[in-house]
Amino acid sequence: MKQINVAVLGLGGMGGTHVGAAKASPYVNKIIGYEPDPERARLRGEELGIESTADLDAILNDPDIALVTIAAINAVHAEQTIRSLRAGKAVLCEKPMAENLADAKNMVAAEAETGIFLQIGFELHYSKMYTTVKDWIDAGLIGTPVNCHCRYYCSEFHLKNTWRSRSKGTMIGEKLSHYLDLQRWFMGSPVEDVFSMHAPNAVTYFNHPDNHQINLRFENDAIANLNFVMHIGETDHTDPLLELLEKQSDDGHFLQYHIFGTKGAIEADVFRRRIRRWEFSDSPKQLVSKIVETLTFPKEEDQVWFHNTHGQNVRVAELVAKGLPPENPATDALETMKVGFAAETSEREKRIVKLSEM
């Protein structure tokens, strides 16, 4: 079995997840971490049990490093990706690709220029809840999907004076791009029009909207809606006597998908740890709808089912070690980024935006 050396750029919370996945992969030999501040690099390296450095050039000039995973702040995603690709490194970069569309396009151009592996971290493509939904759709169990709703209500958990609350980007790129990406994946048709709105903020210290209603129309005339609010769910104070998702299932938190097709429908509900499928049939009196399949999962499998970053990163290390191409092409991730930037344009200019404008 061929093993590779991996560099993790950015050793914050998400960087720690990347390091953990690299340690779990049988295809990884050595891990080196990067932080621009030498003291933080040293401390985080010790905490994570890996070699670390504040010298990015040393990483990029090391011929033994085959894969770079980027978990740094959004503002440096494009720069670090392009430099890594041009240094001959395969790249897995966290979403959003970049803080603006021009930089995201430059990342894809660098991939085409170098012919090097580039995948963007849309790990919900590896999460069992959503792969099951996609399998049901592809098997034709709900007919043709025509309408998709995502309701995402949560509490404010990015905190004051953090880079996320001060970010120039919006929650669309930082968080909601995952769920726009799923809508594109489920509906199986290119997005044609985007119309989005936001109301005044409740979270006054955010440098961006804390709520969004994003509407999509696809080329096949299917539609989708994503409704996001980041302040209604009760604030989590980490009570050790309470199981987190069980509490959040009835305190204002929602993360639900409903996909309606011509022959049935699907519901994916994170906080209820449940997926359900309806089947439609005809009768002399009316259309008959019946729940025909229900799947649930235990709390111990939460991350595997609804945010499988670990599984994605383990798989990417295997792909790179075996010389295989990305499973989720960066060109497809760019289409999701276009939808997000179209939504921002729609909110700013208060109009419907055609994706072709992006």
Task: Evaluate whether 194 touches 231 at the Cβ level (below 8 Å).
Answer: no
Percent of the chain with pLDDT over 70: 99
Q: Provide the CATH topology of domain 4-121.
A: Rossmann fold (3.40.50)
Q: Is pLDDT above 90 for 167?
A: no
- Kindly report the average pLDDT of the chain as a whole number: 95
Where are the chain's structural domains?
4-121, 125-303+338-357
Q: Provide the CATH topology of domain 125-303+338-357.
A: Dihydrodipicolinate Reductase; domain 2 (3.30.360)
Distance CA 243, CA 156 (A): 19
Position 1 scores a pLDDT of: 79
- Candidates 136, 92, 145, 86; CA nearest to 111 is 86
Position 141 scores a pLDDT of: 98
Q: Pick 1 or 199 by higher pLDDT.
A: 199
Q: How confident is the model at residue 63 (pLDDT cuts 50, 70, 90)?
A: very high
Q: Tally the C-alpha atoms within 13 A of residue 77's C-alpha that lie toward its C-beta.
A: 28
- Tell me if the pTM is above 0.95: no
Q: How confident is the model at residue 55 (pLDDT cuts 50, 70, 90)?
A: very high
Question: What tokens were used for 72?
Answer: 């740094």
- Candidates 157, 149, 160, 117; CA nearest to 327 is 117
Position 241 scores a pLDDT of: 66
